Amino acid sequence: MSKIYLATRYSKREKMKEYRDMLVHRGHEVTSRWIDYEDENPEQFAFSEPVADTSSHAVPEVRAFVAQMDFEDILRAESFMCFTHWPSSRGGMWTEFGVALTHRFWQKEMAKLPMRILVVGPRVNVFQNHPEVEVFNDAPDDPFLNFMNAMQSLSAGDAAHVG
């Protein structure tokens, strides 16, 4: 079927594992290795709250490794699914969204099939209003139902859903 990158705040990893398993069950491949990434000292890379000075909380080499891993995983995907019900406090998922949207435009320039960009939840920034971004927010208080609608669209090959 399709290769999909899942993006949301780091603290929702367990929820993303559940969603990944559902996508895999439907024949999709999830490229988001961050979901399963474990480090000997996870405090060096994962923050539960934003911090002003990250230098004392993170080893730059570990964060660089994770950044490169995420970048590669986004570029391997055919669809990018961003979960906005749980916004990121540090901005990683917004950077990933920008990488995916830029990648989509480069693919179109090169006459390749462009990556689908899906927002699951409410639009939370101006770029999520771009006409080529599909939004699944039919049930504003139900992240799971919005995910199910997005997954159904991916499985059916639908495009241009705007909720």
- Boundaries of every domain in the chain: 3-37+58-156
pLDDT of residue 48: 44
Structure tokens at 129: 């209003």
pLDDT of residue 28: 92
Average pLDDT of the chain, as a whole number:
84
133 membership: H or E segment, kind and range: strand 133-136
pLDDT of 91 higher than 50: yes
Mean pLDDT of 14-39: 91
Question: Which top CATH class is 3-37+58-156?
Answer: alpha beta
Mean pLDDT of 131-142: 91
pLDDT of residue 147: 92
Q: What's the predicted TM-score (pTM) here? A: 0.83
Strand pairing category for 79-83 and 3-7: parallel
Alpha helices for 10-91 (secondary structure H)? 13-25, 60-76
